[in-house]
């Protein structure tokens, strides 16, 4: 079957596409290494192994948060583009424009933090960006937010191009999402999972980015006209609507790699189904309205909004996750899976996604949220599903593409050593956060009480292991991507 061809001709990149894809992926792995280095510095500072001034710590925390979220969005956008272009017409200029605007936005953010001394964190909660008590000028906050706007505009351009391609092919987004088969009819077995997932991301994340753009523009107006005041609760709702949607979209774009690649390594078809379509349709709605679980401690919030956030928190995490994991496990059971780097990374990603959801759902429970939300439990859960879930999805595609250029599946001895180090470090790092949250260690603090230092030091050890593994991955991937395709590429390997 064509779906089981390891390196199909439809995925072969033209010269321009190859340059663009390489720029995305190499930039991403380099940025991940740099952002992880900042994370190591902060954990070592909290563990008293390094001395970092508090104002510098919060600048590093702002850079780490914005950099990791932005880079995760960039690399998973490349995952979505790589596969979606097989099914609909996408224009390379939109993909490149997204990359250029991302770089321009990143430069604005870097300048705001390291030149302008901005330290208001990636969430830029009102009124902090422009009420810094002299720690940074208003212009620094403005440049930080302009950076966000540039990144958002780039992603919207890509989504608009993808939307046009989907509508030309399927008529409307409802049909590309598969809504016509929810209640009956014969499902087209060739309807791509990548199309369903991409449609969901476009609908949900476009709304989130627009919400973010609205609040960012309002902040900028307030900088120019200080008499312009915002309602802090409205500002916080828009901020978290944007932030929650954006980071969740990275999961849904990244999992496309699992849908597209898993069958090639298991050698068994991974068919689409009605439960799959129902799950993605439900999640399209749920992910749009779930964000109030970030505001359960805001007692001025209307009660019905908090109740909605509580109920949807239990519902939103399960449909797509369950149908994906169940389908993946059924697909690999007794399949004689080809255990190479891409397949190992895909299975790791499903574990990281599954394990990371559990503490997230717990934190979405009001009685637990009141105690745990402002503790390190929260960075514990989101580092878990990003570090061990989303990032391995993107790495799986990178390793797969390297294999396609050599016409040989990536599975070196160094790869097999690097992955366990990454997994061990990631578990130590994230579990240290969760243990600290259980002990009520406060989040977002540059220095900790003596009773809290042990979990900081354990977390620092895990962070160092992750960084070392990521340095290897970045080197390996960069060298592999810069290598041109072999002349025998057209002779595809069958799964």
Give the torsion through C-alpha atoms of 283, 289, 290, 292, to 10 deg.
180
Model confidence band, residue 296 (pLDDT cutoffs 50, 70, 90): confident
- Judged against a pLDDT cut of 60, whether residue 259 lies above it is answered with yes
Sole residue written with tokens 């208001």: 120
Report the run of H or E that residue 209 belongs to, with start and end.
Answer: helix 193-224
> Residue 485 has what pLDDT?
67
> Residue 146 has what pLDDT?
95
Contact 383, 430 (CB under 8 A): yes
Question: Tens digit of pLDDT for each residue in 38-61?
Answer: 999 999 999 999 999 999 999 999
Question: Tens digit of pLDDT for each residue in 195-232?
Answer: 999 999 999 999 999 999 999 999 999 888 888 888 88
Question: Tens digit of pLDDT for each residue in 413-425?
Answer: 888 899 999 999 9
> Residue 324 has what pLDDT?
84
> Residue 487 has what pLDDT?
46
Give percent of the chain above pLDDT 90: 61
Structural domains in the chain plus CATH codes = 2-482 (1.20.210.10)
Question: Tens digit of pLDDT for each residue in 396-406?
Answer: 999 999 988 77
Model confidence band, residue 291 (pLDDT cutoffs 50, 70, 90): confident
Contact 194, 280 (CB under 8 A): no
> Residue 493 has what pLDDT?
41
Closest CA to 173 of 181, 164, 182: 164
Tell me the sheet residues that pair with 93: none
Could you count the other beta carbons within 10 Å of the beta carbon of residue 435? 17
Mean pLDDT of 251-274: 91
- Judged against a pLDDT cut of 70, whether residue 74 lies above it is answered with yes
Sign of CA dihedral 37, 40, 42, 48: negative
């Amino acid at each position: 079957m064509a779906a089981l061809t390891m390196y199909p001709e439809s995925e072969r990149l033209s010269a321009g596409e190859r340059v663009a894809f390489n720029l995305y992926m190499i930039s991403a792995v380099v940025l991940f290494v740099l952002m992880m280095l900042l994370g190591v510095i902060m954990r070592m500072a909290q563990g008293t192994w390094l001395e970092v001034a508090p104002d510098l710590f919060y600048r590093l925390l702002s850079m780490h948060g914005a950099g990791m979220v932005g880079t995760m969005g960039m690399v998973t956008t490349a995952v979505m583009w790589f596969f979606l272009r097989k099914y609909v017409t996408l224009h390379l200029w939109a993909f490149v424009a997204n990359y250029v605007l991302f770089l321009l936005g990143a430069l604005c953010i870097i300048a705001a933090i390291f030149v302008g001394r901005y330290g208001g964190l990636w969430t830029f909660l009102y009124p902090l960006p422009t009420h810094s008590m002299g720690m940074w000028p208003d212009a620094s906050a403005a440049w930080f937010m302009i950076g966000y706007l540039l990144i958002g505009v780039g992603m919207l351009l890509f989504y608009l191009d993808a939307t046009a391609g989907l509508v030309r092919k399927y008529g409307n987004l409802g049909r590309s999402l598969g809504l016509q088969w929810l209640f009956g009819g014969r499902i087209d077995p060739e309807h791509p999972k990548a199309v369903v997932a991409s449609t969901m991301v476009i609908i949900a994340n476009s709304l989130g980015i627009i919400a973010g753009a609205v609040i960012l523009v309002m902040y900028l107006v307030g900088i120019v006209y200080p008499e312009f005041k915002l309602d802090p609760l409205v500002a916080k709702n828009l901020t978290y609507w944007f932030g929650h949607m954006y980071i969740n979209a990275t999961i849904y774009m990244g999992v496309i790699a699992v849908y597209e690649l898993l069958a090639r390594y298991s050698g068994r078809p991974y068919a689409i189904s009605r439960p799959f379509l129902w799950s993605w349709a439900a999640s399209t709605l749920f992910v749009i309205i779930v964000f109030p679980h970030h505001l359960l401690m805001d007692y001025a919030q209307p009660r019905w909004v908090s109740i909605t956030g509580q109920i949807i928190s239990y519902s939103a995490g399960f449909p797509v996750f369950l149908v994906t994991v169940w389908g993946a496990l059924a697909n690999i059971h007794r399949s004689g899976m080809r255990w190479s780097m891409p397949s190992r990374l895909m299975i790791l990603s499903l574990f990281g996604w599954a394990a990371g959801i559990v503490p997230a759902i717990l934190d979405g429970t009001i009685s637990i949220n009141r105690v745990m939300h402002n503790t390190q439990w929260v960075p514990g859960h989101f580092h878990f599903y990003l570090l061990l879930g989303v990032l391995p999805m993107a790495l799986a595609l990178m390793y797969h593409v390297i294999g396609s250029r050599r016409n040989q599946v990536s599975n070196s001895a160094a790869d097999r050593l690097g992955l366990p180090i990454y997994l061990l470090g990631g578990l130590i790092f994230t579990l240290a956060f969760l243990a600290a949250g259980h002990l009520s260690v406060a989040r977002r603090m540059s220095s900790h009480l003596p009773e809290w230092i042990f979990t900081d030091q354990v977390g620092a050890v895990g962070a160092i292991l992750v960084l070392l593994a990521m340095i290897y991955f970045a080197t390996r991937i960069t060298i592999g991507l810069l290598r041109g395709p072999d002349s025998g590429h057209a002779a595809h390997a069958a799964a």
